[in-house]
Structure 1
Amino acid sequence: MRSRGGVWGRRRPAVVALVAVLVVAAAAVVTYRVLAPAEVLTPARADYPAPVRAATGVVGTLASAPLIVDGRLRVYATTRQIRADEPVDARTRRTPYWSYRRWPAELIGIVASGTTVVSRWSDGDLVALDARTGRIRWRADGPPPGHGYDGRRTGASTVYTPAGLIPATASGGRAVLVVIGGSGLRGLDLTDGRELWRVDIDGSCRAGALTTTAGQLVTVDACASPQVVEFHDVQTGRLVNRWRPEDAGPELAVAPVGCGNGGSNCPALRTTSGGSSRGWLLGRGEPTPMPLLDPNEVVLEGDVALTPSGNELVARSVREGTELWRRTGPGPVRIVAVQPGLVHLLTDAHELITLNSTTGAQRSSFPLVAGDEVVPWRPGFAYAADGFVAVERLARAAPSDAADAQFYAAPQPVILAAS
């Protein structure tokens, strides 16, 4: 008779092997659940909030830079998540009104048009959310951007200067989203995500992208010799012009002037070549030279060119050149942001002054101080919309490559004010 120990001895290797297989399988399941591509959508569970009219002054401080959408929500960006909170005048960031997260893709940029919030991701996906509900309105494929999240702690560059993601208005009034990546240019209907056109070129050779009030996309062909500015119709993608200033050198750069968020719907641009800059008004034809816009410090708000010089700010009609108003203060001022009808100034003493951009009349003035500064600060990204102003507070002496803990002047780096 065979002993039980003998049978078990022969079966033991098989049992051990089976257990090992089960352990490996369980580990694979866990690994897949953790690392597999996924997205998590948490829609709104409350009613869409009403617009807010906040009392003038500092509202509070935030860890992330807010994009104000429809005057009702604040939208933030992190490496792999978009989240919205409300009300707009909350002193700190609140529990999300809605949120959307993807893995392993990273967030590249966010733009908003009305109640549509469009996000671009490192895998090329474009996902549009309905701001009122947080639910997906449409999704589409886009050219991969070739890089990941670069918004640092606040996400400011992701929401204020989104890479290769620019809203536009076509000549017929259609809302268009222009997307630029390594494989070329794309034009999508912003309302439903339908592709309108594509231009298959080397997108890495295109720089300085912006869209114009005349319904055109402007880019620099940086691989041409000499470099040249290209104009594409945003409705069709058709190349309508290749242009360069007569006195430009072989290298050429363009910068948006007077635009909406992210270089959208610009009435003007500034070219830089060989160390000198020139301002140009934009229309359907070739750009019109506008010497009033030549200096880099000049800011355009509507038809008003605003020129700071020391402790003085001069406003002139951009087309006629006539002086509209002049303001002289006790010390130097800096234009940190503009929004329709308003210009926001920041003094060295951190006084935020808001003026009517057409008349120069003062709307408000107060210290832009929240009481939590731990080191002297300088302004970083600044943003204004719907009567609010958000300013990043950077450590005054920190280099651009400093770690976040040294780069920002406070744990809550963004100060939000109502003007």
Structure 2
Amino acid sequence: MGFPKGRRRVVLTVAVLLAAVVAGAVVWRVLAPAEVSTPARGAYPPVPSPAPGVVARLPVAPLIVDGRLRVYAGNRQVYADRPVNNRYRTTPYWSYRRWPATLEGVVATATTVVSRWSDGRLVGLDGRTGRVSWSVDGPEPVGDPAVRRTRATTVWEPRGLFVTEPAGGRPVVVSAGRGRVVAVDPAGGRELWRTDVDAGCRDAIGTTSTGRLVTVDGCAGPAVVEFTDAATGTVGARWRPPGAADELVVTLLGCRSGRSGCAGLRTAGPEDDTGQGWLLGEAAPVAAPTLDPAGAELAGEVAVAVTDGALVGRSARTGAELWRRSGLGQARVVAVQPGRVHVLTPANDLLTVDPATGTQRSWFVLNIGSDGVGWAPGAVHAADGFVAVERLRKPVDPEGDDRLYFYNSEPVILAAT
């Protein structure tokens, strides 16, 4: 015995509508904007004291945070593992995901981890627990970054995301993007200032160790370097190197991390093989010829470079030679951090010296297991006494896919110095 024809139509219509509602609910649950925070369950790790040498090889690039954690970037996730010197990547200590936005950059100051997303959102996480401390709107990133599977650019040199600490003040996080620059207090996410800009002709490239945002402005004629107080948004000096070309290539030097907290810069024209080095402070940049060579770096007040097979430290202000280490061949300075200068030799030995005296702190081969040293160095990150280096397959093919570009499946090598 069945339903009468009229009731059958009603039942069929209800069933179709119910199926549509269920399908819509499933689609909404899958595609709706969402965030998932998985906080830490274990204890915050202590600061380790590893002996100098290679401590780990990793499939993705770690941002060293507070000398205790390794923080990584995924497509839609920022997460951490511990301890910082564990040989392999481990189960996440904490994790934070967003959907459908993608992760564009990560910086850290003290124990606060700040992530930037493709919709411009800035999210501050407590690195000790992984819990969300704050979340605010910022400008959307400009352009489409070239991101490889290690995501080194996301955590080591995030575009348009910087941190700095004004003299005697509190840290500031600056986010520059599509038509706007926003600064926030990382302690609580309070917006400090925002300003509208023309993103087509202005490029915020980093911050100084004295709390200023550095921008290259080409909107009204020849390019100038503009310095903005990161705490207040007040535009200070607008500066052009004497005799500079209309277009400027500006390379920041002596940075604490990525392009943040930098103590110097080098300016050059688009086609120039050499440049002019400058020290940054509260006033206009001061010429520092010891920073002119492309391979020179700045460690505090000391300019370091490999010249004719010798690693030489000179006063960045006077040019006077302070120390010298010979017999290094075609070695090059790959990173600096407070109290350490890191030099990679042609045999992929990592030499670390004290920038003030040139005294050797450590020297060992960057090898682990049976990997060998037949690789070329890629991006490098140095913090809290650690150095992480991307290993690339020789000959390096910048256009090759990741399988051919990287040395192996765990291309990042991490060492304690």
Which TM bucket (shorter chain)? over 0.9
Matched, 1:399 2:386: no
Matched, 1:120 2:97: no
Per-residue CA deviation, residues 71-123 of structure 1 (Å, 9 max, x unaligned), is 11111111111111111110000111111011111111111111111111111
The equivalent of 2:341 in structure 1 is 343
**Matched positions, count:** 415
Per-residue CA deviation, residues 273-295 of structure 1 (Å, 9 max, x unaligned), is 25241111112222111111111
The equivalent of 1:86 in structure 2 is 82
The equivalent of 1:50 in structure 2 is 46
Percent identity for Structure 1 against Structure 2: 52
The equivalent of 2:29 in structure 1 is 33
Per-residue CA deviation, residues 177-232 of structure 1 (Å, 9 max, x unaligned), is 11101122122122111111111111342225221223221101133311111111
For 2:176 and 2:204, the matched residues in 1 are separated by 11
How big is the shift at 1:27? 1.5
Q: Secondary structure at the match of 2:25?
A: helix
Per-residue CA deviation, residues 299-356 of structure 1 (Å, 9 max, x unaligned), is 1111111111342211111112111111112532121222111111111211112222
- Partner AA of 1:412 in structure 2: E
The equivalent of 1:296 in structure 2 is 294
Matched, 1:137 2:137: no
The equivalent of 1:63 in structure 2 is 59
- Partner AA of 1:177 in structure 2: V
For 2:160 and 2:42, the matched residues in 1 are separated by 33
Q: Secondary structure at the match of 2:319?
A: coil
The equivalent of 1:387 in structure 2 is 385
TM-score normalised by the chain length of structure 2: 0.95
Q: Is the 8 A contact 1:122 1:146 kept in 2?
A: no
Is the radius of gyration larger for structure 1 or structure 2? 1
Q: Secondary structure at the match of 1:24?
A: helix
The equivalent of 1:354 in structure 2 is 352
How big is the shift at 1:40? 0.7
Per-residue CA deviation, residues 129-184 of structure 1 (Å, 9 max, x unaligned), is 11111111111111111356743211111111011111112244221111101122
- Partner AA of 2:236 in structure 1: V
Pick from 95, 102, 106: which aligns with 2:102?
A: 106
How big is the shift at 1:375? 9.1
- Partner AA of 2:41 in structure 1: R
For 1:17 and 1:395, the matched residues in 2 are separated by 62
Per-residue CA deviation, residues 369-411 of structure 1 (Å, 9 max, x unaligned), is 1235489321111111122111001112242222111111110
The equivalent of 1:151 in structure 2 is 147
Q: Is the 8 A contact 2:348 2:373 kept in 1?
A: no
TM-score normalised by the chain length of structure 1: 0.94
For 1:407 and 1:30, the matched residues in 2 are separated by 40
The equivalent of 1:73 in structure 2 is 69
For 1:361 and 1:393, the matched residues in 2 are separated by 27
Q: Is the 8 A contact 1:108 1:148 kept in 2?
A: no
The equivalent of 1:210 in structure 2 is 206
Q: Which moved more, 1:325-334 or 1:244-253?
A: 325-334
- Partner AA of 2:394 in structure 1: R
Pick from 245, 249, 254: which aligns with 1:253?
A: 249
Query: Per the alignment, do residues 222 and 371 of structure 1 end up closer, same or farther by CA in structure 2, a change over 3 Å counting?
Result: farther
Query: Per the alignment, do residues 184 and 115 of structure 1 end up closer, same or farther by CA in structure 2, a change over 3 Å counting?
Result: same
The equivalent of 1:269 in structure 2 is 265
Q: Secondary structure at the match of 1:159?
A: helix
